[in-house]
Amino acid sequence: MAEAAFQRCINPDCGAEFGCNESYFKCPKCGDLLDAVYDWDKVNVPARLADFGKRWASRDNRLDFSGVWRFRELLNFCDDKFKVSIGEGQTLLQRNDMLAEFIGMGKGCLHLEYEGLNPSGSFKDNGMTAAFSHAMMVGAKSCACASTGNTSAAVALYAHHCGLKCTVFIGSGRIAFGKLSQAMDYGAKTIQILGDFDDCMKQVQAVCTELGLYLLNSLNPFRLEGQKTIMYRILEGLGWEVPDWIIVPGGNLGNSSAFGKAFGELKQLGLIDRIPRMAIINATGADTLTELVNNRGLKWNGGNVDNKIIDDFYGELTAKNFSPHTCASAIEISRPVNLKKCLRALDICNGVVRAVSDEAITDAKALIGKFGLGCEPASAATIAGLEVLLGEGIVKPSEKVACVLTGHCLKDPNVTVNYHKENSGKYSNAPIECANDLEKIIELMNTD
């Protein structure tokens, strides 16, 4: 089984291959990104997607219980004995007709994939269960990550579970309180760098190389394998029907990369007959992907990405000392490490990219709270983006859309409380102060 899987560089001019028992976060030959790839002829993949769903009936099997490992043949890079699980992927695809109607979509057309239900409260657990299984396979003892918050929470939780030492790097003052509280509570060594996420990302790679630590950012190809299962569960929630659109926030672009790979593989395996379109939504204060794709014409181009476009843009960012800013801290990233894989995903899924303002994000977040399950700010970029795409006529009201709500609504209470208390948004719902007096209270109750 494990021999059926290997790692391969995504750069077509290089294409170097490595075994899965090796651990890199960049191609050692050319420095480009690595993929986990499979020789599907050697994998015993179930004939129909519905066969995966049947595993719900044997939930006392820990791998069947996991919403990631239930799909194990589709991420078949390690033996079962290494597989780590703490109950990730027990998430919910919620059909939401109230929100659909409010934004002008048809009944049964809008679905919310709430990844906040994972053990550490974000989709990151899908990736960590896979990456930590790989870490166990290669015998890692100590690990690290850079994080805007949720990665650190997930890494800290899984590292403790696996008995690995763990250090997380976060940007100073950039992290939401719920997330910081988790990293500390789960016992990670937490280092706050005086800088932003991009600075942390750079430092952590140097630290991991220098000290031989296992890196858990989405540069890790095995982490992205776990994140593919979010798409499998969306299909499952739709009775194995392919939606018309997947909408996802774009930060470091690991999710969008994994989703494109997932659909490409399912199509190749004949498990689906068409691929949904994908919309990736940036915040306007951190809109590198939008700028590069929509304004500078950057494309996958069969893997021959025009590096000059990227280098020029990053040069401009450096020259003006640019640091990204958005209230959606999980996507406050200006040099996304998975940019090239994301271009491939846009190619596979005939994707589009949009950027939405913080104001649109917080308004959308309040709507998701009011009509749905709630989510953190970055997740709400999906609904804000959907409203833009409906307005442009690119998404039709009758199309079937699945939005990935990436993080739990209690991750970032500050943004929520400020939005409502300051009456700053369209849907603000501030608490009302009242004297400690029954008559006054009744009076208030009788006004709307």
Ligand X SMILES: *Cc1c(COP(=O)(O)O)cnc(C)c1O
CB of 39 to ligand X, least distance (A): 27
Site for ligand X in 175-204 (CB under 6 A): none
- Using CB under 6 A, which of 205, 255, 334, 382 touches ligand X? 255
Measured from the CB atom, the residue of 32 and 363 that comes closer to Zn ion is 32
Q: Which residue has the tokens 């030492």?
A: 165
Output the CA–CA distances (angstroms, integers) from residue 392 to 293, 300, 347, 396, 411, in the order listed. 18, 24, 21, 9, 32
Task: Tell me the number of residues near ligand X by CB under 6 A.
Answer: 18
Binding of Zn ion at residue 215 (CB under 5 A)?
Answer: no
Binding of ligand X at residue 119 (CB under 6 A)?
Answer: no
CB 115 within 8 A of CB 123: yes
Single-letter amino acid, residue 51: D
Measured from the CB atom, the residue of 237 and 407 that comes closer to ligand X is 407
CB 414 within 8 A of CB 263: no
Among Zn ion, ligand X, none, what does residue 255 contact (CB within 5–8 Å per kind)? ligand X
CB of 61 to ligand X, least distance (A): 29
Measured from the CB atom, the residue of 11 and 338 that comes closer to Zn ion is 11
- Using CB under 5 A, which of 32, 113, 115, 287 touches Zn ion? 32
Measured from the CB atom, the residue of 55 and 335 that comes closer to ligand X is 335
In this structure, how many other beta carbons lie within 10 angstroms of the beta carbon of residue 42? 12
Q: Which two tokens stand for residue 190?
A: 């937490």
Binding segment for ligand X (CB under 6 A), chosen from 97-105, 207-215, 250-258, 270-278, is: 250-258
Binding of ligand X at residue 226 (CB under 6 A)?
Answer: no
Site for ligand X in 45-74 (CB under 6 A): none
Among ligand X, Zn ion, none, what does residue 76 contact (CB within 5–8 Å per kind)? none
Nearest to 204 by CA among 155, 160, 257: 155
Q: Which two tokens stand for residue 20?
A: 């899965």
Nearest to 223 by CA among 269, 183, 257: 257
Site for ligand X in 362-381 (CB under 6 A): 376, 378-379
Binding of ligand X at residue 382 (CB under 6 A)?
Answer: no
CB 250 within 8 A of CB 289: yes
CB of 45 to ligand X, least distance (A): 25
Residue 122: phi, psi to the nearest 5? -150, 170
Binding segment for ligand X (CB under 6 A), chosen from 96-104, 206-214, 243-251, 352-360, is: 243-251
CB 317 within 8 A of CB 199: no
Three-state SS for 164? coil
Single-letter amino acid, residue 382: T
Binding of ligand X at residue 330 (CB under 6 A)?
Answer: yes
CB of 38 to Zn ion, least distance (A): 19
Cβ contacts of residue 258 below 8 Å, gap of 6+? 127, 224, 225, 227, 228, 230, 231
CB of 97 to ligand X, least distance (A): 25
Three-state SS for 277? strand
Binding of Zn ion at residue 292 (CB under 5 A)?
Answer: no
CB of 34 to Zn ion, least distance (A): 8
- Using CB under 5 A, which of 1, 4, 16, 410 touches Zn ion? 16
How far apart (Å, rounded) are the C-alpha atoms in residues 207 and 203?
A: 6
- Using CB under 6 A, which of 171, 254, 351, 425 touches ligand X? 254
CB of 258 to ligand X, least distance (A): 8
Buried b (16+ CB within 10 A) or exposed e, 333-352: bbbbbbbbbbbbbbbbbebb
Q: Which residues bind ligand X (CB under 6 A)?
A: 122, 124, 150, 218, 249-255, 330-331, 376, 378-379, 406-407
Q: Which residues bind Zn ion (CB under 5 A)?
A: 9, 11, 14, 16, 27, 29-30, 32
